[in-house]
């Protein structure tokens, strides 16, 4: 059986500190500036509290900064105690980080936005978030992505059926085959009798008919939501009269508001830490009802091929 821990370890070992090969130009790849820049090298991070905190921890792991250990898994900018290199951290709207990668020395990008532009953590990342660190801490990993319902609907049997369909071997194998290490199933699973190629062919060409079914609107972000097509196939194969209608939002701030107001039935775009922050600040009455996957945060660059090269360009402070 392939366990989550085994998958995470394999991904993390393969991913950390590998060269960027896919998104750099021939004029900039592999070049090392001969002198320390007069201005700090700018590093983009997500501007929301939880993903920004994850990014700060990743930059600490890269050896670029020091962070107050009391800040925990999601530190804020004020918790950065020392800049070890001449860099400047620039909080930026998460969904714009891929399109503005040219404007930064490097940027930390979530798999939700990296996958659609062809970025692969183990191939293109300078350093990748090690989600096993959170899992092995003995606490619930705060960065596991979740399916969320209104608190009043948390025991809805229809929604439980959807969660059960998601947490199947079939969906897990599809997620890994489709998204590689950019998305990791958050439940234990074992391979099906199908090959990865067969599952990809089945799901990517699958079409479902909503006629006569109960429509459940699920809010999502980004373009990497094909796992829901696999969920729909499982529901149909099991004879469940449920049709998943994806409602796409272009910013993380929108799906929780839409769910809380009743515009949609469920959402699936965030991890535990982000939901907890939203509930605390916005007063939403929302509850996680199931786990989906983890999307490691990765540091990408079009200017530098490794963390060491970035450090050499920046110079120590």
Tens of pLDDT, residues 107-142: 999 887 887 788 888 889 999 987 655 555 556 788
**pLDDT reading at 17 higher than 50:** no
| 87 and 215 part of one domain | no
What is the pLDDT at residue 139? 66
- Same domain membership, residue 86 and residue 169: no
Give pLDDT tens digits for 255-289.
Answer: 999 999 999 999 999 999 889 989 999 999 999 99
- The whole-number pLDDT of residue 62 equals 96
pTM, two decimals, is 0.69
Query: What is residue 222's three-state secondary structure?
Result: coil
151 and 288 together in one domain: yes
Burial tier of 164 (Cβ tally within 10 Å: 0-12, 13-18, 19+): middle
Q: Is residue 136 part of a domain?
A: no
Q: Can you name the residues that pair with 216 across neighbouring β-strands?
A: 244
What's the average model confidence in pLDDT over 285-303? 94
Q: Select the more confidently predicted residue: 237 or 25.
A: 237
Mean of pLDDT values over 10-32: 37
Show the domain range for 90. Answer: 4-130+297-314
191 shares a domain with 111: no
Is 135 part of a structural domain of the chain? no
- Do both 122 and 156 map to the same domain? no
Q: Is residue 12 part of a domain?
A: yes
Tokens at residue 236, please? 């149909």
- Across the strands, what pairs with 293? 185
The CATH number for 58's domain is 3.40.190.10
Please count the structural domains in the chain: 2
What pLDDT, on the 0 to 100 scale, is given for residue 133?
Answer: 59
pLDDT, the chain, mean: 87
Same-domain status, 106 and 19? yes
On whether both 240 and 278 belong to a single domain, the answer is yes
Contact 90, 265 (CB under 8 A): no
Contact 132, 4 (CB under 8 A): no
In a domain, 255, yes or no: yes
Mean pLDDT of 222-244: 95
Closest CA to 287 of 276, 298, 299, 297: 276
Whether residue 186 has pLDDT greater than 80: yes
Residue 138 lies in a domain: no
């Amino acid at each position: 059986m392939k366990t989550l821990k085994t998958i995470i370890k394999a991904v993390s070992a393969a991913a950390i500190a590998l060269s960027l090969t896919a998104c750099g130009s021939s004029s900039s790849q592999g070049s090392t500036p001969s002198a320390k820049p007069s201005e700090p090298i700018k590093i983009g991070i997500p501007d929301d509290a939880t993903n920004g905190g994850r990014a700060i921890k990743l930059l600490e792991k890269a050896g670029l900064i020091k962070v107050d250990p009391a800040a925990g898994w999601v530190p804020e900018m004020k918790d950065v105690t020392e800049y070890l290199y001449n860099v400047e951290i620039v909080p930026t709207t998460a969904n714009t980080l891929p399109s503005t990668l040219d404007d930064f020395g490097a940027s930390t990008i979530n798999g939700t936005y990296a996958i659609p532009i062809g970025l692969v953590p183990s191939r293109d990342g300078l350093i990748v978030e090690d989600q096993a660190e959170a899992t092995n801490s003995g606490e619930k990993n705060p960065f596991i992505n979740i399916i969320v319902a209104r608190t009043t609907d948390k025991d809805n049997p229809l929604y439980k059926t959807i969660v059960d369909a998601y947490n199947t071997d079939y969906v897990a194998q599809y997620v890994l085959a489709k998204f590689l290490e950019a998305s990791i199933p958050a439940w234990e699973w074992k391979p099906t009798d199908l090959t990865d190629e067969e599952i990809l062919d089945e799901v990517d060409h699958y079409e479902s008919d909503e006629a006569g079914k109960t429509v459940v609107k699920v809010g999502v972000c980004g373009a990497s939501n094909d796992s829901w097509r696999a969920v729909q196939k499982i529901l149909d194969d099991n004879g469940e009269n449920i049709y998943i209608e994806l409602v796409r939002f272009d910013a993380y701030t929108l799906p929780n508001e839409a769910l809380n107001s009743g515009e949609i039935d469920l959402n699936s775009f965030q991890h535990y830490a982000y939901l907890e922050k939203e509930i605390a600040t916005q007063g939403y009455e929302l509850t996680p009802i199931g786990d989906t996957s983890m999307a490691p945060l990765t540091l990408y660059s079009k200017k530098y091929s490794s963390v060491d090269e970035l450090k050499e360009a920046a110079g120590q402070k």
